[in-house]
Amino acid sequence: MLSEDQIKLLQGYRDKSYITSILCQQSEEHFSFLKSMVNIPLILTSSVMTILNSLNETDSKDLKYCNIVLNASTAMILSLIGNFKLTEQATNFKQIQVKMNKLCHQIEDKLTIDLENTTIENLRTFINEYDAITEQIDFTYPEFIKNRVKKTFYNKKVLPNALNCDISFIQSNQNNNNIV
């Protein structure tokens, strides 16, 4: 049987995994949206190039210049996609979101269904699993998502380290709470 402090620690890790899952979900949605937005010009330039190349005016200088511009645009867009690793970021955040959600459910199960049989070893296992999943995050969360999640859950849930170490945010909220 766990002590009251150990139960609070377990609840804290449930909160951290829940909040991290939300951060990852919103980050994945953000990078997927960006990837889609960047792909629109790529689709357009490829379509225009196909139409222009199907014309029978093979000796036209204008057609050659258009092809050069469209090819350069396509190369630049593909470079941007590769440089910013939009697909990799979306994929990484999605994978972490699923793992954190699963961990949160496992902790909730122990807290609500099997608390009497929960041991210190179970607690250590959850902490180690949380740490292992956190180490798999390859990219940083967008700042606006971090701020939005902080504002939503500050003083309501235990925040993960990616959010709870921001002194300026904590001081700002304390000053806002004093004004009210």
Instruction: Give yes or no for residue 179 having a pLDDT over 50.
Output: no
* Per-residue confidence band for 10, with pLDDT thresholds at 50, 70 and 90: very high
* Per-residue confidence band for 59, with pLDDT thresholds at 50, 70 and 90: low
| In the chain, domain spans | 4-37+87-179
The rounded mean pLDDT for the chain is 89
For residue 153, with 0-12 CB atoms within 10 Å meaning exposed, 13-18 middle and 19 or more buried, which class applies? middle
Report phi then psi at 5, rounded to 5.
Answer: -65, -40
CB 96 within 8 A of CB 24: yes
CB 28 within 8 A of CB 144: no
* Per-residue confidence band for 180, with pLDDT thresholds at 50, 70 and 90: very low
Which of 46-50, 81-85, 145-149 comes out lowest in average pLDDT? 46-50
Given CA atoms 106, 26, 95, 19 in this order, what sign does their dihedral have?
Answer: negative
Is pLDDT larger for residue 133 or for residue 172?
133
Instruction: Give yes or no for residue 51 having a pLDDT over 60.
Output: yes
Between CA 163 and CA 180 the distance in angstroms is 24
User: What would the mean pLDDT of 116-121 be, rounded to a whole number?
Assistant: 95
